[in-house]
Amino acid sequence: MFLLRKKTWQRWERLVFACGLSTLTIAINAVGWLQPLEWFVVDQFFRMRTSQRTDPRILIITIDESDLNYVGDWPIPDNLLADFLATVNSYNPRGIGLDVYRNLPVGNGHDDLVEVFDSTPLLVGVEKVIGEVIGPPLGADPEHQVGMSDVVVDDDGRVRRGLLAVQTEEGKRKYGLAMRLALTYLEEENIYPNVVNDRLILGKATLRRLQHNDGGYANADVGGSQVLIDFPSNPNFFDTVSMTAILNGDVSDDQIRNRVVLIGPIATSLNDFFYTPMSRTVEMPGVFVHAHIVSQVLESALDGRRVLHGVQAWIGMLWTFLLTCIASQIFYLIDQHKQTYRRRSFLVIGWLVPCLGLGVFIIAYGLFNFGYWIPIAAPMLSISCLSISSILRQNKQLEGLASYDELTQIPNRRTFDGFLQSLVNQEKAFVLVLCDVDYFKRYNDTYGHLAGDACLKAIAQTLKKGTRNSDLAARYGGEEFALVLPDTDIEMTYHILERIQKQLASLEILHEGSEVNPYVTISFGIAFVDVAKSITSKELIAEADSALYQAKRLGRNRFFYQS
């Protein structure tokens, strides 16, 4: 029963430690120290996907270096841009997004460009509203033909979030370029946005605003309506044509008709590039970032595709808490399985931590593919700390095994020798007592070795309880024990030994084979070391052993000191 209570307490002790550790890890995560690692992991998730799907609803018209050479000027003059946009519109797209600032007239033909905006309601230009403000295109309807070009960049310089809309100080809602184009496309499907609390209901989609601590974020700036961008793995996700091909008429109606068309620069000289999770070194043109957001909104609203969400903060905390508690119980079971793992525990834990990490990684990756970004760095930190704690605990246990007798759980001969030698070296007064269980061989023969082991355990604990905190009670060997009593005279020694005899007698351990008492008894041999007495530990043991022999010769169940 005692052993069961001890194991139950140890298990609860591990759980309490796991709870404290998980709380500490959650706090560290909330500060943001683990955020870079979370970003690194989720970036790997993006790159691990191998889907080759494409989006037939979107076409990107690129403006590269060869297009700039063809046009011969940048910014593109208003008259040429007006002709270009009119040409694109003639192919009957479902929306046109111009990711080029036109807040000021450029060259000739400004009135022509204004006329194109006025006659093309599905044409959307861009403005910049965060940081350095850049106004909307001149002549564009601010309610329906203007979208924000602002891109949300994380602290590590990568774009993982898309800005759908913001609320101005005047209470007006401004949509991002991607969201404006998506709404323009969906209007023809009779799908309109419906905002409920922090969720946007759009067709089959439910878009929840990103919160400060969703997924792997910690105190993120989530002003406006932001969502995670679910970048596809296929680098050729969108069809593209060049601006020069449009101007030369080298495209077919099917390439543009009923599609959302985004127009933007990819020329290196124009420096409109952003790092994304899709590559460590290769940047993505800004027009492609907007295109991915448009695609995500349309696919979720029309096809019901799962939207990537970061799990809410409380779910991430619960996830970390549960994994930490589960890991703590696994380590506990390893500690308790001594016969199997005592000599291999370090190797087992060394393999177990990577296996647990791999399991957490696989679960998190599976959830990611179902549209949920769940933290992984916080639980892995907890599991790693648990493994270190378990190794340190086992190392302490191993040190205990080297110092304590396994059967009686009191110090062993090795510890006794070291303690005795230290007192001899210090030249202090102390007493050495050697103890022997009377007629113990007969006890074993009568009651069996299991009973004999139980008897030795009881005697060991009696010796331990009967001595002081400064004393040492050790198993000397077999049925022999030793007491080392520092700063003790003979009179105090007699008092201690009498107390031990009374405590042992109160246990009433039956011993039918004893010739001195119906219960188990002990004989004691005493050796006293005075301050002025020079003696080696070997000589002292021999003196105590001789006294023990005399105690037995005189009838046992007594202590003897040769003064």
State how beta strands 161-167 and 173-175 pair. Answer: antiparallel
127 is known as an active-site residue: no
CA 273 to chain centre: 32
Q: How many CA atoms lie within 13 A of 178 on its CB side?
A: 26
Active-site residue (options: 38, 127, 299, 479)? 479
Phi and psi torsions of 305, nearest 5°? -65, 140
Q: Specify whether the CB–CB gap between 524 and 435 falls below 8 A.
A: yes
State how beta strands 260-265 and 194-196 pair. Answer: unpaired
Q: How many CB atoms lie within 10 A of CB 505?
A: 15
Return the amino acid letter for 98: L
According to DSSP, residue 269 is labeled G
208 vs 202: CA distance, rounded Å? 11
β-strand partners of 161: 152, 228
253 vs 59: CA distance, rounded Å? 12
DSSP secondary structure string for all residues of 349-393: HHHHHHHHHHHHHHHHHHHHHTTEE---HHHHHHHHHHHHHHHHH
150 vs 167: CA distance, rounded Å? 14
Q: How many CB atoms lie within 10 A of CB 354?
A: 11
| Residues marked as catalytic | 479
